[in-house]
Amino acid sequence: MSSAYGSIAAMKDPADFRQCAGYIRVSTEEQNLDLQISLVKAQAPKKIYSDKESGTNSARGAYTELCKEIERNLIKEVIVYRLDRLGRDPVELIRFFDILDKHDVNFISLTEPWLTDWNKGPMQFLTWWLQIGMARFELLLLKDRQKRGISAKIEKVKKGLDTWQGRGKDKKPRKA
């Protein structure tokens, strides 16, 4: 069959026009994205989505935009530095990978190449599942360290070995 534009059989599949996208994230404004940017950029994605928010928040601006672009079939591949850069909430990560699967989107973790074929077989799926569990485990360890650090600081203040009052970030604590 042909038309004014040539053979219909020769027309490209619209899926061929989907883009490769990168996603990078750090948890706070003070943290630096440079390492992730350079490694993801080296893969030549058409667009890089970036957030400076906690991975426990699934309503991050760029992450939400990336998910919408995937659902609109505009993305063919997602590249991340590490799986936990996508987020730390296992339920949200499962939802994200479900979207990838439904829209036939490839996934590449630059530091975890074993996750690339996450949906190709039972062992690959098990490895992916364990990696999601590790992201959650690391978050729990981080929260525990923060809690212990805060408790230790409070104890120092109670004992008069340190104070917070009137001291800026750059000033050293006073000794009693």
Q: Which residues are catalytic?
A: 27
Residues 24 and 50 sit within 8 Å (Cβ to Cβ): yes
Radius of gyration of the chain from Cα atoms? 22
DSSP summary character for residue 92? H
Burial class of residue 123, CB neighbours in 10 A (0-12, 13-18, 19+): exposed
Residues 6+ apart with CB under 8 A from 111: 81, 82
Residues 106 and 77 sit within 8 Å (Cβ to Cβ): yes
160: left (phi over 0), alpha (psi -120 to 50) or beta: left
d(CA 27, CA 19): 26
DSSP summary character for residue 15? G
Other Cβ atoms less than 10 A from the Cβ of 169: the count is 4
